[in-house]
Amino acid sequence: MGWSDYFYPDNPKRREELIRKSQEFKDLMKSNFYATNQLIDVMNEHLSCSFQHIKITEGSSLHDNCKVMIECMHKIQAEIEKIDKELKEKLEPTLYEKLLSLSLLPEDFKVVSKVVEGLCGVATVGSTTLVGLLIDKGIILGNITSTFAKIGAGTLACFGLAVVFMGIDMIVEAILGSIERDNLEKALKEYDEALSEFEPASIEYQYNITYVKVKIEGISK
C-alpha cells in the first residue's frame, strides 16, 4: 500500500471503480463499431454500396477512434440522404410516406422499387424495405454521431477517459499524483457524465441496427 492509500483508504476502491467504468466505456465503443459493421454489410448487400468495415485501434487515442466512427457515419448518412432526396423528388408524397411506414401495397411497391433500382441498381423487397427503414431511423445515426463527436472532442470528459484505449496502466498513471484522491474523484465523475449520455445513445443505436438487420434478413429469406 502506498502512502496515499494509507491516508486515503478509499483510493484502491476508487481505482477499481475507475477501471470498471473504463472497461464499460470501452465495451460500448466496441459494440457500436460492431453494430456499424453489421449495418455496412446490409447496405453493401442490398443497396450495392461499397463501404469498408471499421476497426477500433488498441493503443490509439480516444479521439482517433472516435474520428474513425464519425467519418464512417458521415459517409453512411450522406448515402442515405442522397437516396432520400431522390425519393422525395420522384415519389408522390403519400407514396413516400407509405415507404417510411412500410405500408406499401403491391402496386405501390412496383413504383417505388423502380425508383430504388434506378438509384441503387437493385429492385428487391429487401432493398426497398431497407431504404424505408434507414430513412425513417436516420435520426438514430445522427444521435450516435453527435455523441461520438462530443466524446472525441473532450466535451463530455477529458481526464481519465482520454486514455481509455491506452491501457489500464496508463489510465491509472494519468491520475496519480500528490492529490490522487481528488484526481480519482474527478475522473470517476467524468466517466459517469460521459456514460450517462453515451450508454443510452449506444443502446438505442445498437438496437435499431439489430432491428434493421433482422427485418431485412426475415424479408430476404
Q: What is the pLDDT of residues 46-60, one digit of tens each?
A: 888 999 999 998 877
Written as one string, the DSSP assignment of the chain is --HHHHH-TTHHHHHHHHHHHHHHHHHHHHHHHHHHHHHHHHHHHHH---PPP----TTS-HHHHHHHHHHHHHHHHHHHHHHHHHHHHHS-HHHHHHHHTT---HHHHHHHHHHHHHHHS---HHHHHHHHHHHHTHHHHHHHHHHHHHHHTTSS--SGGGGTTS-HHHHHHHH-STTHHHHHHHHHHHHHHHHHHHHHHHHHHHHHHHHHHHHHHHHH-
CA pair distance 221, 213, nearest whole angstrom: 12
Burial class of residue 24, CB neighbours in 10 A (0-12, 13-18, 19+) = middle
Query: In degrees, to the nearest 5, what angle opens at C-alpha 186 toward C-alphas 5 and 157?
Result: 140
Rounded to two decimals, the pTM is 0.82
Do residues 171 and 183 touch, judged by C-beta distance below 8 A?
Answer: no
pLDDT recorded at residue 7: 43
Confidence at 204, pLDDT banded by 50, 70, 90 = very high
CA pair distance 145, 99, nearest whole angstrom: 25
CA pair distance 48, 52, nearest whole angstrom: 13
φ/ψ bin of 176: left (φ > 0), alpha (ψ from -120 to 50), beta (otherwise):
beta
Query: In degrees, to the nearest 5, what angle opens at C-alpha 41 toward C-alphas 151 and 112?
Result: 105
Report whether pLDDT(91) > 80. Answer: yes
pLDDT recorded at residue 206: 93
Q: What is the pLDDT of residues 152-197, one digit of tens each?
A: 776 555 555 655 666 656 656 655 543 466 777 777 888 888 889 8
Q: What is the pLDDT of residues 59-75, one digit of tens each?
A: 777 788 889 999 999 99
